[in-house]
């Protein structure tokens, strides 16, 4: 009788569990549909915003507690977020974290450990891309894993630098070098920190350890006064989120592939590409602003004081919003967008290629690494190839205008400044949209179709300038200016 009763209770419990899970799936699915989003996108947004109550709990109950409790809190909450979004596939991150810890412990502070880390972590990520790839952008376990991959590679490089003579390191390398030996719990807490696990930002192990040791505060011995700065970034993120939600049904990359788009005049196709290119980046801006607010609230965003003694909270900033919205130059957009990832690539890849003795070659390899890090689709390679080309041409053009007396005088005419700005912004966002077309459409058959519809305008324009500008420079820059530059 007792065993039968226990069996009935177990069956009821299982049934209740299944029903509860079913209702959760149904309600999230319905809500996502009503918002015009996928269920995975809704789970992602919920998880990002969950960082705020978790940060409040951390500030209220854990800020000055024992470090092992904080590591446990970060590990547990990060794993919970991973399970909520990806279910049992959270084992991918867990496996890579444990294996990375073993690499550090077994191989030590050696070049072998760094090379093994680069090869293993990138190979695992690329294998994940290969086996989960579709023709569309899907939110799956590889999305946070690409963030984790950079974290673990950076960890290995910093650990390697920690074994070197301090005098042989640059000031930047000294700042990030890990002198101690991280425990598995520390590596897990660093990797699963809820404010950055899903979409970033990147930060170093040393910066994370300052957080758990209670050092990242503007008032030593007290919880940081970061609530207002955090709410400012959250509010700005919400503005972008509302704008993206309202406009996303009307400005889509899918329209670029329609016959209706192809049947419109050439000027319309270009203008739509311009508007779409400006708009499509807002989804990334939204996520990064919201997560930056979480990092600020915890204290991770603390970046010391400025010359006036005012606390700075931009250590985890992935966006310079004003620069992003106002710059008329491609290099300005690069400097204002995905800042921490760009800084990571500069620190752990670009500057480590000094032995090549060629800045352009180092930049080319860095962009190739970034393209592969994003995924295996051809569109990523085309996008970063365009970035490489555009940056070179933009530098050539800036140098020409600066060194040519005639062009410099023309560019300095005050009354024409608004006109110049308008032209620059039009070129800037048209070809930003052109580059993002390949990035967002992924496969060659899709982006090739759109590029054909605008006659490969971006490639024709910038490749032409690449070969023409040196001759223009030769003709318009006086010899004494060239000799001064060489001197």
CA atoms within 13 A on the CB side of 217: 15
Sign of the alpha-carbon torsion through 173, 175, 176, 180:
positive
Kindly list the distances between the CA atom of residue 383 and the CA atoms of 72, 233, 386, in Å, as whole numbers in the listed order: 40, 29, 5
Q: Calculate mean pLDDT across residues 312-337.
A: 96
In a domain, 391, yes or no: no
Asked if pLDDT for residue 440 goes beyond 70, the answer is yes
In a domain, 47, yes or no: yes
What pLDDT shows up at residue 4?
47
Confidence at 361, pLDDT banded by 50, 70, 90: very high
Distance of CA 124 to the CA centre of its chain: 19
Q: Calculate mean pLDDT across residues 156-165.
A: 95
**Percent of the chain whose predicted confidence (pLDDT) is above 90:** 84
Comparing C-alpha atoms, which of 156, 177, 160 is closest to residue 97?
156
Q: Which of 338, 340, 342, 377 is catalytic?
A: 338
What pLDDT shows up at residue 138?
81
What pLDDT shows up at residue 23?
44
Asked if pLDDT for residue 59 goes beyond 80, the answer is yes
In a domain, 207, yes or no: yes
Asked if pLDDT for residue 48 goes beyond 90, the answer is yes
In three-state form (DSSP H/G/I as H, E/B as E, the rest C), the secondary structure along the chain is CHHHHHHHHHHHHHHHHHHHHHHHHHHHHHHHHHCCCCHHHHHHHHHHHCHHHHHHHHHHHHCCCCHHHHHHHHHHHHHHHHHHHHHHHHHHHHHHHHHHHHHHHHHCCCHHHHHHHHHHHHHHHHHHHHHHCCCCCCCCCHHHHHHHHHHHHHHHHHHHHCCCCHHHCCHHHHHHCCCCCCCHHHHHHHHHCCCCCCCCCCCCHHHHHHHHCCCCCCCCCCCCCCHHHHHHHHHHHHHHHHHHHHHCCCCCHHHHHCHHHHHCCHHHHHHHHHHHHHHHCHHHHHHHHHHHHHHHHHCCCCCCECCCCCECCCCCCCECHHHHHHCCCHHHHHHHECHHHHHHHHHHHHHHHHHHCCHHHHHHHHHHHHHHHHCCCHHHHHHHHHHHHHHHHHHHHHHHHHHCHHHHHHHCCHHHHHHHHHHHHHHHHHHHHHHHHHHHHCCHHHHHHHHHHCCCHHHHHHHHHHHHHHHHHHHHCCHHHHHHHHC
What is the token pair recorded at 125? 């990520």
Sign of the alpha-carbon torsion through 41, 278, 264, 242:
positive
Q: Calculate mean pLDDT across residues 29-36.
A: 74
Q: Calculate mean pLDDT across residues 325-342.
A: 95
Q: Which of 264, 303, 374, 459 is catalytic?
A: 374
Kindly list the distances between the CA atom of residue 34 and the CA atoms of 37, 38, 245, 284, 357, in Å, as whole numbers in the listed order: 8, 10, 12, 22, 55
Contacts of 217 (CB under 8 A, 6+ apart): 223, 224, 299, 302
In a domain, 350, yes or no: no
Place of tokens 């070659």: 361
Q: Are 30 and 176 in contact (CB under 8 A)?
A: no
In tens, the pLDDT along 74-118 reads 999 999 999 999 999 999 999 999 999 999 999 999 999 999 999
Asked if pLDDT for residue 407 goes beyond 60, the answer is yes
229 vs 15, higher pLDDT? 229
Whether 374 is catalytic = yes
In a domain, 407, yes or no: no
Backbone torsions φ then ψ of 23, nearest 5 degrees = -65, -40
In a domain, 255, yes or no: no
Total domains in the chain come to: 1
Asked if pLDDT for residue 484 goes beyond 70, the answer is no
What pLDDT shows up at residue 478?
83
337 has which bridge partners?
319
Comparing C-alpha atoms, which of 202, 148, 151 is closest to residue 341?
202
Least confident of 10-24, 40-54, 248-262, 431-445: 10-24
What average pLDDT does the chain have? 91
Q: Are 292 and 197 in contact (CB under 8 A)?
A: no
Q: Are 182 and 104 in contact (CB under 8 A)?
A: yes
431 has which bridge partners?
none
In a domain, 24, yes or no: yes
**Percent of the chain whose predicted confidence (pLDDT) is above 70:** 93
What pLDDT shows up at residue 292?
97
419 vs 480, higher pLDDT? 419
Sign of the alpha-carbon torsion through 43, 47, 50, 52:
negative
What pLDDT shows up at residue 17?
52
What pLDDT shows up at residue 11?
53
Domain span at 209: 17-215
What pLDDT shows up at residue 10?
52
Asked if pLDDT for residue 256 goes beyond 80, the answer is yes
Asked if pLDDT for residue 260 goes beyond 70, the answer is yes
Whether 428 is catalytic = no
What pLDDT shows up at residue 15?
45
In a domain, 107, yes or no: yes
């Amino acid at each position: 009788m007792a065993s039968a009763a226990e069996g009935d209770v177990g069956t009821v419990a299982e049934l209740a569990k299944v029903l509860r899970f079913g209702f959760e799936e149904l309600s999230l699915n319905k809500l996502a549909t009503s918002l015009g989003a996928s269920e995975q996108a809704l789970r992602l947004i919920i998880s990002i915003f969950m960082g705020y109550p978790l940060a409040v709990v951390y500030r209220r109950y854990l800020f000055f507690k024992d470090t092992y409790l904080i590591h446990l809190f970060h590990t547990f909450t990060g794993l919970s977020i991973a399970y909520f979004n990806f279910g049992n596939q959270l084992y991918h991150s867990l496996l890579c974290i444990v294996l990375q810890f073993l690499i550090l412990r077994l191989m030590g502070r050696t070049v072998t450990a760094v090379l093994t880390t680069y090869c293993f972590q990138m190979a695992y990520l690329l294998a994940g891309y290969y086996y989960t790839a579709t023709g569309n952008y899907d939110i799956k376990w590889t999305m946070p894993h690409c963030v984790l991959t950079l974290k673990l590679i950076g960890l290995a490089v910093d650990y390697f630098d920690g074994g070197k003579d301090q005098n042989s390191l640059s000031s930047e390398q000294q700042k990030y070098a890990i002198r101690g030996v991280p425990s598995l719990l520390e590596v897990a807490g660093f990797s699963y920190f809820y404010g950055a696990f899903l979409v970033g930002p990147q930060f170093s192990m040393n910066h994370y350890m300052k957080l758990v040791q209670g050092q990242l505060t503007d008032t030593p011995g007290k919880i940081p006064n970061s609530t207002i700065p955090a709410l400012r970034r959250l509010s700005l993120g919400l503005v972008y989120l509302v704008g993206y939600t309202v406009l996303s049904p009307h400005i889509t990359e899918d329209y670029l592939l329609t016959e209706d788009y192809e049947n419109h005049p050439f000027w319309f196709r270009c203008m739509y590409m311009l508007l779409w290119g400006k708009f499509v980046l807002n989804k990334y801006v939204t996520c990064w602003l919201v997560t930056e607010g979480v990092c600020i609230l915890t204290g991770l965003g603390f970046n010391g004081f400025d010359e006036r003694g005012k606390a700075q909270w931009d250590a985890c900033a992935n966006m310079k919003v004003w620069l992003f919205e106002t710059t008329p130059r491609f290099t300005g957009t690069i400097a204002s967008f995905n800042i921490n990832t760009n800084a990571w690539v500069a620190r752990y890849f670009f500057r480590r290629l000094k032995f090549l003795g060629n800045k352009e070659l180092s930049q080319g390899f860095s962009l190739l690494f970034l393209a592969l890090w994003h995924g295996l689709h051809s569109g990523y390679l085309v996008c970063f190839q365009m970035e490489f080309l555009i940056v070179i041409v933009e530098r050539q053009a800036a140098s020409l205008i600066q060194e040519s007396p005639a062009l410099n005088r023309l560019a300095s005419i005050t009354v024409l400044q608004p006109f110049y700005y308008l032209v620059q912004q039009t070129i800037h966002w048209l070809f930003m949209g052109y580059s993002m077309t390949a990035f967002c459409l992924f496969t060659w058959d899709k982006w090739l179709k759109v590029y054909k519809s605008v006659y490969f305008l971006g490639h024709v324009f910038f490749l032409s300038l690449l070969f023409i500008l040196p001759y223009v420079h030769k003709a318009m820059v006086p010899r004494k200016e060239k000799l001064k530059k060489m001197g």
